[in-house]
Amino acid sequence: MKKRIIPFFAVITLLFCMFSSSAAAVGDVIDFTRDSIDLYLNQSYQLTMKNNAPVISYTSSDPDIVSVSHTGMIKAETAGSSILTATDKEGNKATCTVHVWDGTAPEKVVLEIQSLSMTEGAYYTLKAKVLPEDVDDGRVYFSSSDETVAKVDSKGTIKALKVGTAVITAESSSAAVSTKCMVKVVSKSGRKYSVSLNGTLYSAAGEKKANMRVEIANANESFETTTDVDGKFYFDDIVRGSYILRVFKSEKTTTPTAMGQLSVGSHDMNMSCIISDKDLIVLYQNEEEGTEKLQDIILEKNTLNLQIGESYDMSFRVRPAHAILPAMKNISSNEKVAKVDIDGRITAVAEGTAVITFSTSDKSITKSCKVTVSAVNSNTYSWIIITVEFSLLLLIVIVFFIAYSKFKYKREREEGVVNPKYGRRVK
């Protein structure tokens, strides 16, 4: 009889462990989001826990070096190291080490952009700077919130891997000083009106400039290449719009030799770039523009659902297909809910609805998209899984006890322990 019961208890134990591990994944495990923290004198930093695990108390091994409040706000008092301990209501503990340094502390990390849209497989290098200029350690450390969507290396070069959103954090030598850039990766197949650019770089005297780095960039993406021995360069898969064109003496140079404005049309373009007094003169040659008159503009989407903080780049189609897409005037009916920039990028700001209107400069063609913005809710799916697992566990336990009661009654009846006529034990 005992041998038959053992498998039942084994199944129950296994299911209980599965449920416990799922529940722990949501918030029962107590651990700091980072093992060590670097601060400078008088800087403060808010401690955070993985999965927002609840903490009832924080302690510092040396309050003279690092003090901590009941909410987990720490302050660097003097140079040295201290171990911070967090305790939950069950008595579970987690620790992290805080190092406090002397010297000129970083005050700010500056990024050239705070949001970025990239296509799958594209690269973009974030340019970051630590202020003030005389900071003791001016290095910047980059990290990604989701490396399956976008990876970033130690130099700030981002590689877009798959469709999704990731936040790139640029942190100084102090954990208290950092800034973020939101990266949205879109499908390359969904990229519309991409063109190629052929160019030649000259000096003002007519000399072809070889082995120079050429970069074009806007608020969303950046492309770079190097001129060949004839001063020629080439860009592929460029979306129409306005770009800043920069020229550098070499790949390692960070200060541009010259820069100017570049306007990319709807068709492949040939151009010449002339460096004159540190400015760029861009001449377009044999640009294959469409000649048909624009009759209609079609939005990629007329309704759009976004979560707070998300962005979406609206794409357009024109009729007839070879007509030129003019500059569009874009307006939001409620900028407190959703904003739109001149390139058609919609950004969700707060819960609610807004209507984004796209129109030509003469307002002869007007299109609109209704945007619904909702709050981010990341834990709902996890709790649904836990609820289902718990329900299954409860059902299995009930079935087990019913089956076990029947089995036990039958066994005792066969052994003569139970009188079948009266349904009670025989003394």
What digits encode the pLDDT tens for the residues 360-401?
A: 877 889 999 999 999 876 555 566 677 888 888 888 888 888
pLDDT at 17 > cutoff 70: no
For residue 422, the 8-state DSSP code is T
How high is the pLDDT of residue 422? 47
Q: Roughly how many angstroms between the first and final C-alpha of the chain, as a whole number?
A: 22
pLDDT digits (tens, 9 = 90+) for 293-302: 778 888 878 8
Q: Quote the CA–CA distance of 317 and 298 in Å, as a whole number.
A: 5
Average pLDDT over residues 346-357: 93
Sign of the C-alpha dihedral computed for residues 154, 160, 161 and 165 taken in this order: positive
Q: What are phi and psi of 55, to 5 degrees?
A: -125, 135
Rounded CA-CA distance 352/115 in Å is 22
Q: How many residues would you count in the chain? A: 427
**What's the 3-state SS for 37-97?**
EEEECCCEEECCEHHHCCCCEEEECCCCCEEECCCCEEEECCCEEEEEEEECCCCCEEEEE
Cα separation, 170 vs 158, in Å, equals: 12
pLDDT tens, 224-242? Answer: 888 888 888 888 777 777 7
**Mean pLDDT, the chain, as a whole number?**
81
Higher-scoring residue by pLDDT: 56, 4: 56
The token duo for 377 is 């809710």
User: Could you give the dihedral angle defined by the CA atoms of residues 378, 384, 385 and 390, in that order, rounded to the nearest 10 degrees?
Assistant: 140
**CA 69 to each of CA 42, 51, 59, 374, 403: distance values in angstroms, whole numbers, following the listed order:** 15, 21, 8, 34, 55
pLDDT in tens, 179-209: 988 888 877 655 555 677 888 898 877 888 8
Position 193 scores a pLDDT of 58
Two structure tokens written together for 131: 């202020």
Do residues 317 and 297 touch, judged by C-beta distance below 8 A?
Answer: yes
Work out whether strand 213-217 and strand 241-248 pair parallel, antiparallel, or are unpaired: antiparallel
Strand 269-276 relative to strand 194-203: parallel, antiparallel, unpaired? parallel
The predicted pLDDT at position 23 comes to 44
Burial readout 180-207 (b: 16 or more C-beta within 10 A, e: otherwise): ebbbbbbeeeebebebebbbbbbeeeee
| Mean pLDDT value across residues 79-104 | 94
Interatomic CA distance for residues 207 and 190, integer angstroms: 40
Could you give the CA distance from residue 224 to residue 165 in angstroms, rounded to a whole number? 23
The one-letter code for the residue type at 221 is E
264 contact partners, CB below 8 Å, separation of at least 6: 195, 197, 238, 239, 240, 241, 242, 243
243 vs 262: CA distance, rounded Å: 5
Q: What is the pLDDT of residue 417?
A: 57
Question: pLDDT value at position 113?
Answer: 78
Model confidence over 51-69: pLDDT tens digits?
A: 888 999 999 999 999 999 9
As a whole number of angstroms, the distance between CA 196 and CA 266 comes to 10
Residue 157 has pLDDT above 60, yes or no: yes
User: Is residue 4 over pLDDT 60?
Assistant: no
pLDDT band at 427, cuts 50/70/90? Answer: very low
Instruction: Give the per-residue pLDDT at 82.
Output: 95
pLDDT band at 21 (very low <50, low <70, confident <90, very high): very low
Q: pTM for the full model?
A: 0.44
**Which residues, 6 or more positions from 78, have their beta carbon under 8 angstroms from its beta carbon?**
41, 64, 65, 100
Predicted pLDDT of residue 189: 57
How many CB atoms are closer than 10 A to CB 46?
Answer: 11
| Percent with pLDDT over 70 in the chain | 80
303 CB-near residues (< 8 Å, 6+ apart): 369, 370, 371, 372
